[in-house]
A and B are shown apart, each in its own frame.
Chain A
């Protein structure tokens, strides 16, 4: 064993490797992405297979196939990715698995980088699958290894649900020096049990329900739900805490800060919740506070258990609004919750003087980002019309910010084009433009494009092709052709795909060439029928800058257009005058819009 500083997602990858995983698949999504990228680094040495799949459904189905053949498989995604994989998941629970199959679904309370705060523990309940909720990166590593064993004992997929504060936290963690090589798989054996027909579904549903109780027993033996902090506490105490996942950390620290010594039931296996530890705890305390982020997934099960056992223990949490149901918890919030629960005065510090007004600093498109140029071209082309710009999920969602204000709708991956088609049905006279990135196009944009062609919706689809999945950390995708393991394959051509889908207007243009891209945008908007414009330029994070621009102060009329129309972080003001900073990437868009030709390439 050796000690390493590992991020939660890396710890999960190391755990999977130590468990002898054979197949790993996932789609990038913050905060889950580093599991697959770490596995990709380990794959060569350990001899297992890793892929970035085109979406979460493809990833889960790939893992299911591997498991059918007896291999251990892991699949990773963020919480909303599970919605995309919901179709295979719900029935895979009926069919069952052979090799251990672990789904890592990263939740994002806050949310920090997500479009909602859905709670995967409730999804697990819907799918009737066990779920583990780690408190720390080290526990996540331990849990992923256990999850493979549990999956094989139950013949069910098992979900590991870390949250952002585990995924992106680092800890000192023991790692096996020479982990096992991948184990040989037993192979696929033909059987009618792999073919879900209504008759089989009816039988398997009964089996699946029976497995719930087996899972509950096994999870109880796992030790992930256990009593802690019980020193010096007698048989009956006035109050206790049940804490799930990362909330356990906040509870322990808040208790320490308040010099309180209350018993804590730590929950690492929230569904199906083992009954005995909960009932034991409820009989020892008069009142209990359930602390968990997001939904009352544990609390509602505790209430049901108390009711069925006719226990009169007071149960507090989200149902009596002591614990918020939205946002992320932290030690400070939990300390206040504890004080409210125990009705003790707050021992907070005096409130310090308030900070002066601080500048707003939201995330913005990088200096030189080709998306800024693409949005600008389409805004120019649509000037004077009431065109609607539907957006999608990616860095380019930031096009919604001032001054671009170029995103009028954003819902979920791949939704831009189909929402635009729906808008077109109601207001056929309005121009509809849908923007999506290259990786999102492959993820779920293609069916929407075909739907648009098939149903004759007049939508212009703009593919912002920067040759990467930028926002989640620059993962490759089919348009690039490079795999997670770094092998070069055949790149899938977006323009060719659009033509094959029946689109007659397909143009590829460089967004850095503003006249050409504005012309392409105008032509697409004027085209009767679905049109596709591919804005092709690599992400600035992937290509070193080759030039920079500067403002000739003699020619500058201080009109402010470069500042106010582009919102480029490289353009600021110095003593009132526009100035380009060293962070200029050299895209040259500002030079192309300057009415007095005052912005010029810097001579080197």
Chain B
């Protein structure tokens, strides 16, 4: 099987950890993997996209347009920005929380939540909206949105690994004192999908 996952968000939201954890989980299932991440200047509060590819015959690390099976959006507008990557029939898990950039305060651009939400719903047929801000508050730390969304993803069919394997891969990247927090975050993501 070949599977392509795009993770979009804002620099600092932990998309790199999420893509590495997915890749590691796939690797442990014996699949070949590639990831491509944005590291450097753009990470400072800028738009970031991580690509994760797993399967048999892999070439480039970046996913072509209209090929991603899943799009994980850690921020509302960044989900819309990455929608071109999603294949017809692909699944989106998107945060309803918005991070409004300074350009909006300065009047240089706009952030129209309603329109953006409508656009995501219209373009992707399978969309799960999660309030990552609220869920991460409940989990106990504002920066756990990346792990919550992985927990949510782990409830969906079509992955080459089970939720336990995915969680184990996540915890490999987490310092010991945050293990429990991230287990909680992962579980919160799973629980949220039962409601969503």
Which residues of A does B touch, CB under 8 Å? 3, 5, 30-31, 112-113, 136, 165, 168-172, 246, 248-250, 252-253, 257, 330-332, 335, 349, 352-353, 355-366, 395, 398, 402-403, 471-473, 563-564, 567-569, 571-573, 582
Contact of B109 among A246, A349, A355, A357 (CB under 8 A): A357
B47 touches A361 (CB 8 A): yes
Kindly list chain A residues whose C-beta atoms are within 8 Å of the C-beta of B104. 359
Cβ of A33 to closest chain B Cβ, rounded Å: 8
Interface size class of B (residues with CB under 8 A): 35 or more
B123 touches A353 (CB 8 A): yes
Listed from nearest, the 10 A-B pairs whose CB atoms lie closest are A249-B60, A169-B61, A30-B40, A363-B46, A249-B59, A113-B40, A331-B64, A360-B109, A170-B35, A363-B44
Q: Identify 12 new A-B residue pairs, CB closer than 8 A, beyond the known A248-B59, A253-B59, A349-B88.
A: A165-B62, A171-B34, A330-B60, A331-B60, A355-B80, A359-B104, A361-B10, A361-B78, A363-B44, A395-B44, A403-B106, A573-B100
Kindly list chain B residues whose C-beta atoms are within 8 Å of the C-beta of A112. 38, 40-42
Kindly list chain B residues whose C-beta atoms are within 8 Å of the C-beta of A573. 100, 105
Kindly list chain B residues whose C-beta atoms are within 8 Å of the C-beta of A31. 39-40
A567 touches B36 (CB 8 A): no
B43 touches A363 (CB 8 A): yes
B109 touches A363 (CB 8 A): no
Cβ of A149 to closest chain B Cβ, rounded Å: 27
| A interface: dominant SS | loop
Is B1 interfacial (CB-CB < 8 Å)? no
Q: Can you list 7 A-B contacts with CB-CB less than 8 angstroms, sorted by A residue number? A: A30-B41, A136-B61, A165-B61, A246-B60, A248-B59, A250-B59, A471-B41
Query: How many residue-residue contacts, CB under 8 A, span A and B?
Result: 166
A361 touches B64 (CB 8 A): no
Is B66 interfacial (CB-CB < 8 Å)? yes
Please report the C-alpha to C-alpha distance between residue A395 and residue B60 in the assembled complex, in whole angstroms: 30
Contact A30 to B39, CB < 8 A, known contacts A249-B59, A359-B111, A364-B102: yes
Please report the C-alpha to C-alpha distance between residue A395 and residue B36 in the assembled complex, in whole angstroms: 23
A356 touches B80 (CB 8 A): yes
Stretch at the interface among B20-28, B149-157, B160-168: B20-28
Please report the C-alpha to C-alpha distance between residue A366 and residue B105 in the assembled complex, in whole angstroms: 16
Kindly list chain A residues whose C-beta atoms are within 8 Å of the C-beta of B42. 112-113, 363
Kindly list chain A residues whose C-beta atoms are within 8 Å of the C-beta of B43. 363
Cβ of A528 to closest chain B Cβ, rounded Å: 37
A366 touches B106 (CB 8 A): no
B34 touches A363 (CB 8 A): no
Kindly list chain B residues whose C-beta atoms are within 8 Å of the C-beta of A257. 64
B33 touches A170 (CB 8 A): yes
Please report the C-alpha to C-alpha distance between residue A366 and residue B44 in the assembled complex, in whole angstroms: 7
Kindly list chain A residues whose C-beta atoms are within 8 Å of the C-beta of B123. 352-353
Cβ of B125 to closest chain A Cβ, rounded Å: 12
Cβ of A442 to closest chain B Cβ, rounded Å: 20
Is B159 interfacial (CB-CB < 8 Å)? no
Kindly list chain B residues whose C-beta atoms are within 8 Å of the C-beta of A330. 60, 62, 64
A349 touches B62 (CB 8 A): no
Please report the C-alpha to C-alpha distance between residue A563 and residue B43 in the assembled complex, in whole angstroms: 22
Cβ of B69 to closest chain A Cβ, rounded Å: 15
Q: Which residue of A lies closest to B115 (CB)?
A: A356
Cβ of A34 to closest chain B Cβ, rounded Å: 8
Is B32 interfacial (CB-CB < 8 Å)? yes
Q: Which residue of B lies closest to A364 (CB)?
A: B45
A5 touches B33 (CB 8 A): yes
A364 touches B112 (CB 8 A): no
Please report the C-alpha to C-alpha distance between residue A331 and residue B36 in the assembled complex, in whole angstroms: 14
A361 touches B105 (CB 8 A): no
Cβ of B64 to closest chain A Cβ, rounded Å: 4
Is B195 interfacial (CB-CB < 8 Å)? no
Enumerate B104-129 residues with CB–CB distance to A below 8 Å: 104-106, 108-112, 115-116, 118-119, 122-123
Contact of B40 among A249, A365, A472 (CB under 8 A): A472
Contact of A253 among B41, B64, B105 (CB under 8 A): B64
A363 touches B100 (CB 8 A): no
Please report the C-alpha to C-alpha distance between residue A122 and residue B23 in the assembled complex, in whole angstroms: 35
Please report the C-alpha to C-alpha distance between residue A364 and residue B109 in the assembled complex, in whole angstroms: 15
Cβ of B101 to closest chain A Cβ, rounded Å: 5
B101 touches A360 (CB 8 A): yes
Contact of A252 among B34, B59, B103, B112 (CB under 8 A): B59
Contact of B11 among A331, A360, A363, A567 (CB under 8 A): A363
Please report the C-alpha to C-alpha distance between residue A473 and residue B33 in the assembled complex, in whole angstroms: 25
Is B180 interfacial (CB-CB < 8 Å)? no
Kindly list chain A residues whose C-beta atoms are within 8 Å of the C-beta of B103. 359-362, 402
Q: Which residue of B lies closest to A254 (CB)?
A: B64
Kindly list chain B residues whose C-beta atoms are within 8 Å of the C-beta of A357. 109-110, 112, 115
A170 touches B45 (CB 8 A): no
Kindly list chain A residues whose C-beta atoms are within 8 Å of the C-beta of B66. 349
Contact A359 to B105, CB < 8 A, known contacts A112-B40, A168-B37: no
B39 touches A582 (CB 8 A): no
Contact of A165 among B60, B78, B105 (CB under 8 A): B60
Q: Which residue of B lies closest to A367 (CB)?
A: B45
Please report the C-alpha to C-alpha distance between residue A315 and residue B19 in the assembled complex, in whole angstroms: 40
Kindly list chain A residues whose C-beta atoms are within 8 Å of the C-beta of B108. 360, 402
B81 touches A355 (CB 8 A): yes
Kindly list chain A residues whose C-beta atoms are within 8 Å of the C-beta of B118. 356
Please report the C-alpha to C-alpha distance between residue A113 and residue B142 in the assembled complex, in whole angstroms: 28
Q: Which residue of A lies closest to B42 (CB)?
A: A363
Please report the C-alpha to C-alpha distance between residue A112 and residue B101 in the assembled complex, in whole angstroms: 20
Is B65 interfacial (CB-CB < 8 Å)? yes
Is B148 interfacial (CB-CB < 8 Å)? no
B37 touches A359 (CB 8 A): no
Kindly list chain A residues whose C-beta atoms are within 8 Å of the C-beta of B20. 5, 170
